[in-house]
Amino acid sequence: GAVVSQHPSRVICKSGTSVKIECRSLDFQATTMFWYRQFPKQSLMLMATSNEGSKATYEQGVEKDKFLINHASLTLSTLTVTSAHPEDSSFYICSAARVAFSTDTQYFGPGTRLTVL
């Protein structure tokens, strides 16, 4: 159990285009999902917290107009990178919080590697 999927796994796009990344919790409902980005050989940095049915909470320094987050259902959150530029190239990982047991935690998707040319 506790499987989280991401789509696509890899995407290459031209500078100026928008890219949408989907994060799905396959076997549990997640009222809260998180979006992280990871540059090569660096740690995961939290970008935003996505709550079902409400606006996302962005971390300091993350442009909310550039990284649009929609959490339309209990199993799906999307991250749209608008007008992508080469500096947005990174590994984007989502996680979904399963709250069913006292020690439950976040489960991560396999990640999406974005390359902006």
Partner 1 sequence: AQKITQTQPGMFVQEKEAVTLDCTYDTSDPSYGLFWYKQPSSGEMIFLIYQGSYDQQNATEGRYSLNFQKARKSANLVISASQLGDSAMYFCAMREGNGNYGGATNKLIFGTGTLLAVQP
Point out which residues bind partner 1 (CB under 8 A). Answer: 31-32, 34, 42-46, 49, 91, 93, 95, 97-99, 102-111, 113
Strand bridging mode 76-81 / 90-97: unpaired
Cβ-in-10-Å burial (0-12, 13-18, 19+) of 52 comes to middle
Shortest distance, position 70 Cβ to partner 1, whole Å:
18
Residue 50 or 78 with smaller CB distance to partner 1: 50
Q: How far is the CB of 88 from partner 1 (least distance, A)?
A: 17
For residue 97, the minimal CB distance to partner 1 (Å) is 4
Helix, strand, coil tally for the chain in percent (to 5):
5, 50, 45
